[in-house]
Amino acid sequence: MISSDRMAAVDVNAAALGIPRKQLMESSGNAVARVVRSEADPGSRIVLVCGRGNNGGDAFVTARFLSEYDIETALLGRPDAIGTQIARENWDALQAADLSTTTITDTSYLDGLDLEAADCIVDAMLGTGVTGALREPEASAARAINATDTPVVSVDVPSGVDADTGAADGVAVEADHVVTFHDTKRGLESLDTQLTVADIGIPEAAELFVGPGDVRGRKRAAESHKGDHGELLVIGGGPYTGAPALAAQAALRAGADLVHVSCPETVAEEIQGYSENLIVHPFDGQRLTPEAVDAILDLAGEMDAVICGPGLGSHEETLAAVESFLESFSGRGVIDADALSVVPEVDTDASLICTPHQGELVKMGGETDDDWERRAELVTEFATEIGQTLLVKGAYDIIADSEETRVSRTGNPGMTVGGTGDVLAGVVGSLFTNREPRTSAAVGAYLNGRAGDLAFEDAAYGLVATDLIDWLPEPFTTDE
């Protein structure tokens, strides 16, 4: 089962792996042709009713595969209204091959198709691109198709039906057989129709490995306000000052609007000194202790997410404070560094993303393996056991919760330098202010590694953690 949104992401990831959408369209069209062959005998008359998007494009391909039939390919609208390059190319290929096509520019022309006399109708008007009720001429075409006794094969989804919900805002095609691609869609389960799920050659890697498709959709509304894109608190510092500052600055670069740092007073000035962009809230003492927890909880309650751990150290009192914080905190948190050891023990209502490297994972009670595929299984088991999301850092970052496992392959050995993990925590925390935990962890790992790869081109093995922060904005510009 896959949602339309996830399918669109997988599509972009497949293209990044070298399997462009036009190639997928070829497989989709071929799969539809195979189903048509199962529904109608060679020589019989097939009418393909096609829209102007890629759903129609699939059927232009189908027409090429069905040379043993009497084919009529009908386009709803004018050829220059075909909306995508790949659909247009497949339409042009029909013309070039001298295959019969018709254009329906007025609903009155529908009668000319003589749908009743067809042996099979292919409904390729609209697929996952539908919004709202069918407009004309699609609505009239759907009524005309439904009025016949002719078997109807729908491409991907019956036109007019929402693939995610199965609902239709108005009239929708009543299909006898639906050929959907790659994976079934929730909206198809409730329909009274035969369903074929066709493999169109999208490799498992396009779903497993985080890719550019996962980073889509970062455009902001023009009327956005300060704070709409995340307010975050970094709880860190004491024995170290660089770690919380790196996490906080990375969070800003990754898009958060406001980033606060809660740290011991002894290091507050130093942390503020790294960047005037940070809002620093000092508490008494030189390290985190249970006395500071109430004030931190008040502050955390006003945030969209927190990051807890960078530079806190592992003093007994500090770990006791982290434990007491997590016992009362019920928001979203990224847990990193020494704070990680507390997570498996603590009883918390918080939703957590834990970001251990393999050594820290083992300290938490998890298991690891040199083989990344085996490691992915072990990480998924441990995530399920602790009931939280894990992001285990390595050459292949493993992201898992009890439902799904993802792997991010970006990054390079230059990133073994100190501080890159703090940057990662900051990026993940920033995303977590307005995304689900697994997505935040997966996209965060991908973007952090991508920034590392760009920094590597510049500085090679001389790269330092602050370089990553400078390169972070770039991946966000890859808007589809």
Ligand X SMILES: NC(=O)C1=CN([C@@H]2O[C@H](COP(=O)(O)OP(=O)(O)OC[C@H]3O[C@@H](n4cnc5c(N)ncnc54)[C@H](O)[C@@H]3O)[C@@H](O)[C@H]2O)[C@H](O)CC1
Is 243 annotated in a binding site? The answer is yes
Nearest residue to K ion, by Cβ distance, number only: 159
Shortest Cβ 164–K ion spacing (Å): 15
Q: Count other C-beta atoms under 10 Å from residue 434's C-beta.
A: 15
Residue 88: CB partners within 8 Å, gap ≥ 6? 79, 82
Is 133 annotated in a binding site? The answer is yes
Q: Is the CB of 138 or the CB of 338 nearer to K ion?
A: 138
The residue ranges that bind K ion (CB under 5 A) are 55, 123, 154-155, 159
Is 402 annotated in a binding site? The answer is no
Residue 159 interface partner, choices ligand X, K ion, none, CB cut-off 5-8 Å depending on type? K ion
Let me know how long the chain is: 480
Shortest Cβ 15–K ion spacing (Å): 22
Q: Is the CB of 11 or the CB of 231 nearer to ligand X?
A: 11
Shortest Cβ 24–ligand X spacing (Å): 4
Query: CB-hemisphere CA count at 13 Å for 56?
Result: 30
Is 159 annotated in a binding site? The answer is yes
Is 459 annotated in a binding site? The answer is no
Q: Is the CB of 139 or the CB of 441 nearer to ligand X?
A: 139
Shortest Cβ 21–ligand X spacing (Å): 5
Shortest Cβ 6–K ion spacing (Å): 19
Residue 154 interface partner, choices ligand X, K ion, none, CB cut-off 5-8 Å depending on type? K ion
Shortest Cβ 123–K ion spacing (Å): 5
Is 128 annotated in a binding site? The answer is yes
Picking from 125, 162, 155, the residue whose alpha carbon sits closest to that of residue 142 is 125
Residue 51 interface partner, choices K ion, ligand X, none, CB cut-off 5-8 Å depending on type? ligand X
Residue 415 interface partner, choices ligand X, K ion, none, CB cut-off 5-8 Å depending on type? none
SS3 per residue for the chain = CCCHHHHHHHHHHHHHCCCCHHHHHHHHHHHHHHHHHHHCCCCCEEEEEECCCHHHHHHHHHHHHCCCCEEEEEEECCHHHCCCHHHHHHHHHHHHCCCCEEEECCHHHHHHHCHHHCCEEEEECCCCCCCCCCCCCHHHHHHHHHCCCCCEEEECCCCCECCCCCCECCCCCCCCEEEEECCCCHHHHCCCCEEEEECCCCCCHHHHECCHHHHCCCCCCCCCCCCCCCEEEEECCCCCCHHHHHHHHHHHHCCCCEEEEEEEHHHHHHHHHHCCCCEEEEECCCCCCHHHHHHHHHHHCCCCEEEECCCCCCCHHHHHHHHHHHHHCCCEEEECHHHHHHCCCCCCCCEEEECCEHHHHHHHCCCCCCCHHHHHHHHHHHHHHHCCEEEEECCCEEEECCCCEEEECCCCHHHHCCCHHHHHHHHHHHHHCCCCHHHHHHHHHHHHHHHHHHHHHHHHHHCCHHHHHHHCHHHHCCCC
Is 123 annotated in a binding site? The answer is yes
Residue 84 interface partner, choices ligand X, K ion, none, CB cut-off 5-8 Å depending on type? ligand X
Measured distance CA(439)–CA(416) in Å, rounded: 24
Residue 18 interface partner, choices K ion, ligand X, none, CB cut-off 5-8 Å depending on type? none
Residue 135 interface partner, choices ligand X, K ion, none, CB cut-off 5-8 Å depending on type? ligand X
Is 187 annotated in a binding site? The answer is no
Is 222 annotated in a binding site? The answer is no
Query: CB-hemisphere CA count at 13 Å for 353?
Result: 34
Residue 11 interface partner, choices K ion, ligand X, none, CB cut-off 5-8 Å depending on type? ligand X
Residue 130 interface partner, choices ligand X, K ion, none, CB cut-off 5-8 Å depending on type? ligand X
Shortest Cβ 126–K ion spacing (Å): 6
Q: Is the CB of 118 or the CB of 424 nearer to K ion?
A: 118
Q: Is the CB of 51 or the CB of 429 nearer to ligand X?
A: 51
Is 129 annotated in a binding site? The answer is yes
Q: Is the CB of 136 or the CB of 265 nearer to ligand X?
A: 136
Q: Is the CB of 146 or the CB of 351 nearer to ligand X?
A: 146
Q: Strand 397-400 to strand 389-392: parallel, antiparallel, or no bridges (unpaired)?
A: antiparallel
Q: Is the CB of 141 or the CB of 251 nearer to ligand X?
A: 141
The residue ranges that bind ligand X (CB under 6 A) are 7, 11, 21, 24-25, 28, 51-58, 83-84, 126-135, 138, 155-156, 181
Shortest Cβ 9–ligand X spacing (Å): 10
Shortest Cβ 122–ligand X spacing (Å): 11
Is 277 annotated in a binding site? The answer is no
Annotated binding site for K(+): 55, 123, 159
Annotated binding site: 54-58, 123, 127-133, 156, 159, 243, 311, 357, 421-422
Annotated binding site for (6S)-NADPHX: 54-58, 127-133, 156, 243, 311, 357, 422
Annotated binding site for AMP: 421
